[in-house]
């Protein structure tokens, strides 16, 4: 479970700390309040594309850190062990961090260990499943009905 999200110098956000609680959490606000930026920051720390234009104007780097509490039997622990980044002293806490620099480069860490973006994304894929507002449209039927199976077989 995502328990904390720290964001610094990311897009228009100077500093932001969000503490999530068990159950249902909602980000609400008016248009332009920054809800999408928070989601962009979360995608970035989970291994998504890091763009240099997301660094706050006048800053050298943006930082996003996400803290997760893991269940004792969380499948991601096997991945973390394989990467040698599981914290032996606190195996149920996972800290992901990504620094994005204004020159377009980034630095990724899992529990304080430097990792590649691919490794960060592999771990992130076990933790969060993000969907946008138009994702259900991909589940809609195609605009033109498909040919019935009999027509494909020549019957």
Q: For the domain that residue 28 is a member of, what is the CATH number?
A: 3.40.50.300
Tokens 């933790």 sit on residue = 127
The model carries a pTM of 0.83
Copy the structure tokens of residue 100: 């994005």
Whether 99 maps to a domain, the answer reads yes
How many domains does the chain fold into?
A: 1
- 15 is a domain residue: yes
CA separation for the pair 13, 34 (Å, rounded): 8
Identify the pLDDT of residue 112.
97
CA distance 46 to 38: 12
Query: What is the per-residue pLDDT across 94-121, written as a single tens digit (0 to 9) for each?
Result: 999 999 999 989 999 999 999 999 999 9
In the numeric block, which tokens belong to residue 96? 């992901």
Domain that includes residue 15, residue range: 2-132
| Domain annotation covers residue 39 | yes
Is pLDDT at 87 greater than 80 in this prediction? Answer: yes
pLDDT tens per residue, range 33-42 = 888 999 999 9
91 in any annotated domain: yes
């Amino acid at each position: 479970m995502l328990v904390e999200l720290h964001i610094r110098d990311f897009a228009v956000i100077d500093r932001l700390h969000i503490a999530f609680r068990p159950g249902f959490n909602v980000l609400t606000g008016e248009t332009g309040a920054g809800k999408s930026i928070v989601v962009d920051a979360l995608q970035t720390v989970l291994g998504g594309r890091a763009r240099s234009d997301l660094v706050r104007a006048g800053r050298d780097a943006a930082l996003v850190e996400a803290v997760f509490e893991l269940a004792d039997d969380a499948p991601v622990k096997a991945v973390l062990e394989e990467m040698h980044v599981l914290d032996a002293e606190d195996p149920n806490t996972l800290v992901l961090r990504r620094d994005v620099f204004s020159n377009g480069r980034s630095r990724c860490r899992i529990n304080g260990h430097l990792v590649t973006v691919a490794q960060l994304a592999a771990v992130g894929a076990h933790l969060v499943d993000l969907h946008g507002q138009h994702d259900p449209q991909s589940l809609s039927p195609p605009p033109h009905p498909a040919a019935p199976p009999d027509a494909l077989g020549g019957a």
